[in-house]
Amino acid sequence: MRIVYFVVLLMITLSSCDIKGVETNSKDAEEVNYLENDTLSKVKETDTLKVSKVKVPEVASDTLKLENGITITYFKKGEGEKLKKGDMIKIDYRAKLENGKIYDGNHMVKKTSIPFLVGWNQQTPGWDIALKELRVGDDVDVFLPAKYARGEKGIKGIVPPNANNILSIRVLERFEPTVEVDDIQIWKYDELKSPGDSIGFKDEVYLNYWVSSESKPRYDNNYQRGETFKLVMGDGNIVPGLYKALHFGREGDRLMIKIPAKEAYGSEGLTDLVKPNEAIFYDIQIGKVIKTK
């Protein structure tokens, strides 16, 4: 369920600039890149129409081969420090099979990018391995051997068993928290154009969510149960960090929330799901908020 959920929920729409190496049959992705204006100005006026339809070749600038078989092909290199565990970034990506079939990507839910928390097993192991080699501004194709992609199981009807994968990724930016309170980091990355009601004490709140610990990805989510999660603010049925974070949300918001152990399950942990002194991470869609009278 974790894999299928991510494919459905985290996919997003094609940005105005195609990622290198991606092939698809969609109308948007078939649009070609044209020569820059300064190049066209050097061409005879009579030839302009002809030249403007020439596709700019995709040329790899460098290749990094890791010992585990993962290969990173660079089309553009960024600058600065490499990404590290705990970095929240925005990426524009496509996941495809070796035959070029795209099965995942932010364009599929009409988003130009998605937020991604590095090092928290949000995707298959190969993602985090590759991302820790990248920098903001990198535009790459990543070859993932099957064991670092969808493995022996694949995804029924989508990714065959033991299939190698290719990721086309542009690392757009580091995404700084919108709010920080008591070491709780809150990122707001989607909201209604006309925000709904803010959340207060004793309000009735309906949520869709998944939650991970550092060691146990997506150990709980309401999607598996097939019903929206209901809570009443202040009733003590959620960890303190989530209670504090929700006060910064409104009806319709999409929030990502990283909660330190002291505001979660502390030194005791939670059975085999959250280790002692381990942080947790929520991805939440706030649905209806019913205000107290």
Q: Are 199 and 227 in contact (CB under 8 A)?
A: no
Q: Are 127 and 291 in contact (CB under 8 A)?
A: no
Dihedral sign, Cα of residue 161, residue 163, residue 167, residue 168: negative
Distance CA 205, CA 82 (A): 39
The pLDDT value recorded for residue 13 is 37
Q: Give the pairing of strands 179-181 and 165-174.
A: unpaired
Q: Residue 62: exposed, middle, or buried by beta-carbon count in 10 A (0-12, 13-18, 19+)? A: exposed
The pLDDT value recorded for residue 41 is 32
Q: pLDDT tens per residue, the chain (293 residues)? A: 444 444 444 443 333 334 343 333 333 333 322 222 333 233 333 333 333 344 444 677 789 999 999 999 999 999 999 999 999 999 999 999 999 999 999 999 899 999 999 999 999 999 999 999 999 999 999 999 999 999 999 999 999 999 999 999 999 999 999 999 999 999 998 877 776 778 999 999 999 999 999 899 999 999 888 899 999 999 988 999 999 999 999 998 999 999 999 999 999 999 999 999 999 999 999 999 999 86
The pLDDT value recorded for residue 48 is 36
Q: In which residue are the tokens 């030194």 written? A: 267
Distance CA 61, CA 68 (A): 22
Distance CA 164, CA 167 (A): 10
Q: For residue 290, give every residue at least 6 positions away whose Cβ sits within 8 Å of its Cβ, in sequence order, or none.
A: 203, 204, 205
Q: How many residues does the chain have?
A: 293
Q: Residue 149: exposed, middle, or buried by beta-carbon count in 10 A (0-12, 13-18, 19+)? A: buried
Dihedral sign, Cα of residue 234, residue 289, residue 175, residue 11: positive
Q: Are 130 and 122 in contact (CB under 8 A)?
A: no
